[in-house]
Each structure stands twice: as structure tokens, then as C-alpha cells.
Amino acid sequence: MRSSTKVWIGIAVALTLTQALASAMLQRGLLLTAISDFALALILLALVVTFALNAIPARGRLRVFWIMQAVGWFTLLIDQFWWMLYDLVWQKPLPTIFAGDALLFTPGVMMLAGFLLKPHLEQSKRRARLGTLDFLLLMVWWVFFYVYLVTCWQYVSRNEALYNANYDHLYMVEILVVVVVLCVLLKRSNDAWRRFYALYLGAVLFSYFSFSMENRAIELNTYFNGSWYDTPYLAAFAIYIIVALRGRSLELCRDKSEHEKYGSWLEGLTILAVLSLPVIVVAAVLEGGMPLEIMHFRVLVTAVAMFAMAALVFMKQKLLHIELKHANEVLEESSTTDPLTGIRNRRFFSATIQRDVAQSIRAYAEGNDLSERDLVFYLIDLDNFKRVNDRHGHDAGDRVLIEAARRISSAIRNCDLLVRWGGEEFLVVSRSADRRQAAILAERVLDAFRAKPFAVGTGDQVQQTCSIGWAAFPWIEEDAEAMGAEGVLKYADRGLYRAKKAGKNQAVGMIPSRDGAKSVASSEALADALEFSGQEGSSTAGRVVEVLK
């Protein structure tokens, strides 16, 4: 047990014993009242501090849970200061209908609200936002019931008997709901959280028992400040300090199925809350024997609650729409992205290539600058990749593929498209390109592979090279629509085949010509070959341009 834990437990025990000894040894009077009031104030202050300290290292909904508990006990501390004013400063009895009674009701509301958040579960930010709105809906609902049943007999038409009866009934319902929720949480949580919820449940039951005894004594006029009724009442708060200390080591759990159950459960409660308001307002109008001012007040309060809840429902629907849109975007992104390398896949290529083709055709039709109207397709295949898998394992092969994608990406422009074409094969679509400079990009990719060995894990490295075949769209510049992108890709694949056959670790480009094949060894020679091709005219025959063997 940590020293700080011992200190807090010592404080709780000392205050409880002080109260017990004072009740047993002192006569009714100002001194006994002062000891009792200060002991209760100090233990409530200790409760606020211990629960607040738990919130500092926590995160997510667990932090919100601790903050809400601290706020609940803080409101009770404020109520206690109010009592101390009447007892010690003004020295007169507290009014039977007291404005501070709402503060006595608040800790239970904060407790219930915290449990409805299911603090043991971790959730996404989007789910947290939706859960917050559901929580606010239920809070509006709960406050509405207090105002509807209790406040009306306090301020609108003063009635002490109905005020006390409705307050006690609503408080009992509040505790009953807390107990039910805690029982559900006990069933659905892990061992550490189950012990915490069980201890919290025991504290709730004991505090309700002690409060009921004290409240009954007040009704029978047998209670006075410092009487023996205050000892179990203060001991109940000491148990809550132990609860807070027990919760210091708790952590969030991840359980997807539990998230789904929680979401449907909380959403069901909010739907019930919203649907109950029209029924309640009808009941308020039809209830007989009710003072007219009470009926008008209840109708007004119900209408305000309906508008507030409708606004929250609207906000929730807005968030659901945003969440659905985001989910669709994530789904679309995942369906067009290669999971291993993180680059685009063939599905994305199929969905976007026609747009790129149309843009290139339009650029030719409009006579745009030659440097901005070609599409160049580069098929890149890793040489002898099977050896990497055979010698170093498939995990090493995956590392090589990831690094290959990174190096290719670093060698191309931001506007170019990199695609995992399949296996160890990649496709680069160079947009707004100039075919006269096509070999330069191929050279950069080859150099990126040659720059340094590839790490395959456990300190091993391999020298990995690649072969490239490329072709430009339009295939025939004078007739941009003569051949589609699929046909140009076949020529790029043919160039890749020739690069492999010629010894690998090189690039072969395909351009249209009438006079058979011709090899060149530089990008300058490629420009000459293209110029020569343009002078002779074009056809669908292929001329090979080899680059950097």
C-alpha cells in the first residue's frame, strides 16, 4: 500500500472516530454541532481531492468519470457549508423546504451519469462525441423530472408535504437506477473493474441506508446535529474515499462488442427519454385536482425540455451524418490502398485512369504545351525477388516491398501516381509529362534502387535491383484516340519483358515507328529517336529504347 493511500485512509478513519467519540461523549449543543459539521466538511473535501487526483493521470471517458464524481462531491461540500451557516453562524434550524436540497440530489446524478458513460471502456473520439450527446439528453431528462416533480412545490405553489414526498421518491428512484446500472456494469466488466464496481455498489447501498435513517429521524424530530445518526452517515463517505483510492490503478479496456452493446443500450434510453415527454405533457394537462399554476408550470417545463432535447437530437443527427460520411471515406480509402505498402492499388488506378486519359486527350486537342500533355506508364518489377523470400523469409520480402515503394515514391513527382500492380510489380503513371523526358524518371528509379542495399531485418541486407518497361499515351501523337490506355500498358509490359530478357536492372521504353527496333543508351538519344520517329511518321509497330543497362 502506498504511503499516500495510508494517509487518506488514516484521515477517513480519524474523522469517523472523531464523530463517533463526539456523539458518545458530548451533550447536545454548539460544540457537538461544530465538531460534527467540520468533520463532515473535511471528509467531503477529502472526497473531492481524492476523486480529482484520479482524473489527472486518467484519459478519455475515465477522466470524465473521475471529474464528474469530484464535481458531485463538491456540490455536496457547498451544501454542507450552507448547513454550517445555519448551524454555527445564524444558529437557527434549516428550513423544511430548502433551496440547497437540489445540491443533495446532485451527487447521485453525477454518479449515475458517470456510470452511464461506462468508464471502463475506451472509445473513439467520434463515438465519444455521440455518447456525450446521449449523456446530455439523459441529463436534461433527469433535471426535467426534478423540476417537474419537486421544484414546482418549492417555488410555484408551496406545499411541504408534496415537496418532501416527491423529493424522497425521486431520490429513491435515483439510487435504484444507480444500483441497477452498477449491477449491469458488474456483469460486463473485467476482474479489476468488477471489484471496483462491487465496492462502489456497497458504498451506495450503505450511504442510502444511513441517509434514510437520518432522514427518518428528522421526520420524527429525534435528530440533532452530532447525534449517533451522523456516525454511519459520515462513515459512508469514508467508504467512498476507499472507493476512490481503489480506482487509482484502473485502466481503460478495449472491447468492440461491448462498445456496440453500450451504444445500442444508451441510444435506447435516449429514445425512451425523448418519447416520454409528449406523454408527460398530456398527463400534466389531463391530471385533475391540480392547481392551475402547477399545470401551467409543468406544461412550460415540458415544452422547454422538449425543445432542448430536440436541439440535442438534431446535433446528434448532424454528427451521425458526419460520422457516416467519414466512414464511407475511410472505406473508400481502404478499398483503394494497398495494405502492405500504403500506396494505391489497381482498384484506384481503374477508377481514375479515364480521367487522366481524358485530360491528356483534351490537352492534345487544345494544342497545349508539349511538356504537359503526355501520360507515361512505367511498369517496375523487382529482379530476383523470389530469392529474397526463399533465403530470408516472407517478412523480409515484405520489408523489401515497403522500402521499394518508398524509394520509387521518392524518385517520382508529387503529381505522379504510384500503384502496387501485383506481387513485386509496381506501376507509375507520370501525369502531365513529356515523353521526350520519359527516360529521366526511369533513370531516377533505377538509381534509387542502386543507391544502397535493402535491409531485411536481423542486420541482413540485400542488393535489390529492378527492371522497368515504359510507354507513353497517346501512343500516336497525331491521333490521340487511336489506342486506349490498356493498349499502351501492354506495350509498357512488353518493354518490361525485354528489359528482363536483356539482363534485368535496366529500363526499356516503347515508342511507335515503322523501321523496327533501335536501342539507345541515354535520354538524349531517346529525344533523337522520337524526333526521327516524328519525321518518318507513326504506326503501331514498336521500336525499343533501352535506358541505362
pLDDT of residue 508: 93
Residue 386's CATH number: 3.30.70.270
The answer to pTM > 0.75 is: no
203 within some domain: no
pLDDT of residue 62: 87
Using an 8 Å Cβ cutoff, are 507 and 442 in contact? Answer: yes
Domain count, the chain: 3
pLDDT of residue 126: 56
Domain that holds residue 282: 121-188+255-333
Average pLDDT in the 41-68 region? Answer: 92
Report whether pLDDT(489) > 60.
yes
Report whether pLDDT(531) > 80.
no
pLDDT of residue 371: 64
The span from the CA of 539 to the CA of 533, in Å, is 10
198 within some domain: no
196 within some domain: no
- The residue count for the chain: 549
164 within some domain: yes
Report whether pLDDT(257) > 60.
no
pLDDT in tens, 373-390: 899 999 999 999 999 999
Pairing mode, strands 417-422 and 344-345:
parallel
AA letter at 210: S
Among 15-24, 258-267, 368-377, 514-523, the range scoring the smallest mean pLDDT is: 514-523
401 within some domain: yes
195 within some domain: no
Local structure of 332: helix, strand or coil: helix
pLDDT in tens, 155-186: 999 998 899 889 888 888 889 988 988 998 88
Q: How confident is the model at residue 482 (pLDDT cuts 50, 70, 90)?
A: confident
Top-confidence residue, 320 or 187: 187
Strands in 50-206 per DSSP E: none
Is 540 in the same domain as 443?
Answer: yes
pLDDT in tens, 265-302: 666 777 777 888 888 878 877 777 788 899 889 989 98
Is 93 in the same domain as 239?
Answer: yes
Q: What angle do CA 401, 404, 405 make, to 5 degrees?
A: 90
Is 388 in the same domain as 525?
Answer: yes
pLDDT of residue 254: 62
Is 24 in the same domain as 85?
Answer: yes
Is 133 in the same domain as 91?
Answer: no
pLDDT of residue 286: 79
Top-confidence residue, 324 or 343: 343
pLDDT in tens, 106-162: 888 888 888 877 788 776 565 566 567 777 887 888 889 899 989 999 899 999 889
207 within some domain: no
184 within some domain: yes
Given 303, 333, 363, which residue is the final one in a domain? 333
pLDDT of residue 255: 52
pLDDT of residue 71: 92
Among 126-140, 204-218, 249-263, 445-459, the range scoring the smallest mean pLDDT is: 249-263
* Burial of 398: CB neighbours in 10 Å, binned 0-12, 13-18, 19+: middle
- pLDDT above 90: percentage of residues in the chain: 46
Given 306, 333, 360, which residue is the final one in a domain? 333
Is 218 in the same domain as 354?
Answer: no
Is 387 in the same domain as 451?
Answer: yes
Phi, psi of 399 (to 5 degrees): -65, -40
Kind and range of the H or E run holding 527: helix 523-536
Is 48 in the same domain as 140?
Answer: no
- pLDDT above 70: percentage of residues in the chain: 88
Average pLDDT in the 348-373 region? Answer: 85
CA-wise closest residue to 34 among 91, 101, 77: 91
The span from the CA of 418 to the CA of 379, in Å, is 10
Q: How confident is the model at residue 316 (pLDDT cuts 50, 70, 90)?
A: confident
pLDDT of residue 1: 58
Is 386 in the same domain as 359?
Answer: yes
| Edge-to-edge strand list for the sheet holding 344-345 | 344-345, 417-422, 425-433, 374-382, 466-473, 507-512, 542-547
For the chain, counts of helices (H) and of strands (E): 16, 9
Is 58 in the same domain as 145?
Answer: no
Among 356-370, 423-437, 482-496, the range scoring the smallest mean pLDDT is: 356-370
pLDDT in tens, 38-49: 999 999 999 999
pLDDT of residue 315: 86
User: In the predicted model, what is the mean pLDDT of the chain?
Assistant: 84
Kind and range of the H or E run holding 390: helix 385-392
Report whether pLDDT(522) > 80.
no
CA-wise closest residue to 35 among 183, 232, 208, 234: 234
The DSSP bridge partners found for residue 376 are 430, 472
pLDDT of residue 128: 60
Residue with cell 463532515: 40
pLDDT in tens, 399-451: 999 999 999 999 999 999 999 999 999 999 999 898 888 999 999 999 999 99
* Burial of 66: CB neighbours in 10 Å, binned 0-12, 13-18, 19+: buried
Report long-range pairs for 335-343 (Cβ below 8 Å, ≥24 apart): 338/420, 340/398, 340/401, 340/402, 340/420, 341/401, 341/402, 341/404, 341/405, 341/420, 342/402, 342/405, 343/405, 343/409, 343/418, 343/419, 343/420, 343/426
pLDDT of residue 528: 53
Report whether pLDDT(472) > 60.
yes
pLDDT of residue 525: 47
Given 302, 333, 364, which residue is the final one in a domain? 333
Average pLDDT in the 61-66 region? Answer: 87
Is 328 in the same domain as 424?
Answer: no
pLDDT of residue 526: 53
Q: Say how many CA atoms lie within 13 Å of 461 toward its Cβ.
A: 8
Is 88 in the same domain as 229?
Answer: yes
Among 89-103, 159-173, 497-511, the range scoring the smallest mean pLDDT is: 89-103
The span from the CA of 484 to the CA of 281, in Å, is 69
477 grid coordinates: 501523337
Using an 8 Å Cβ cutoff, are 36 and 230 in contact? Answer: yes
